[in-house]
Amino acid sequence: MGISTGDDGRKRSGGLKGKWRDKRRYEITSPSSIPTLGERKIKIVRGRGANKKVRILSDNYGVLFSKNEKPKKVKIIKVLENAANREYARRFVLTKGAIVETEAGKGKIISRPGQDGVINILKIE
């Protein structure tokens, strides 16, 4: 059975509510992709309306943006900190807002790698 965003069938107190209908197709979601640091692996997922979504499962490189320079491809060395979850920094998970160390210095990820299929990094001066 798929992961659902519908009613979980529980009351605020934690007790079970009576089931009043089955899951609907529009409530089904996909398991979250957790992009990590490593050799490039991507997954193409079919979205609603037959749209395609590129998910990064792991990647070593990102596009570094700086105020005075052109965007350039840089290698990500390690994840320094991740505001989403402290454990993510230890596991080298790449999410939006993560502070990473690159060849060109520190940067902050400004894209959503699990949703956009690209890692954009804003250089921290």
Distance CA 57, CA 36 (A): 6
Q: How far is CA 97 from CA 8, 79, 81, in A?
A: 30, 11, 9
Q: Compute the radius of gyration of the chain from its Cα atoms.
A: 19
Q: How far is CA 6 from CA 19, 31, 84, in A?
A: 12, 15, 24
* C-alpha span between 12 and 115 (Å, rounded): 31
Percent of the chain with pLDDT over 70: 99
pLDDT of 12 above 90: yes
pLDDT at 9: 86
In degrees, rounded to 5, the angle at the alpha carbon of residue 21 between the alpha carbons of residues 19 and 25 is 130
Strands 105-109 and 41-46: unpaired
Write down the pLDDT at residue 1.
58
Mean pLDDT of the chain: 92
pLDDT tens digit string along 15-72?
Answer: 999 888 888 888 888 888 899 999 999 999 988 899 999 999 999 999 999 988 899 9
Which candidate, 61, 29, 70, 71, places its Cα nearest to that of 48?
Answer: 29
33-123 — its CATH code? Answer: 3.10.290.70
Tell me the helices (H) and strands (E) count for the chain, helix number first. Answer: 2, 10
Model pTM? 0.82
Q: Where are the domains of the chain?
A: 33-123
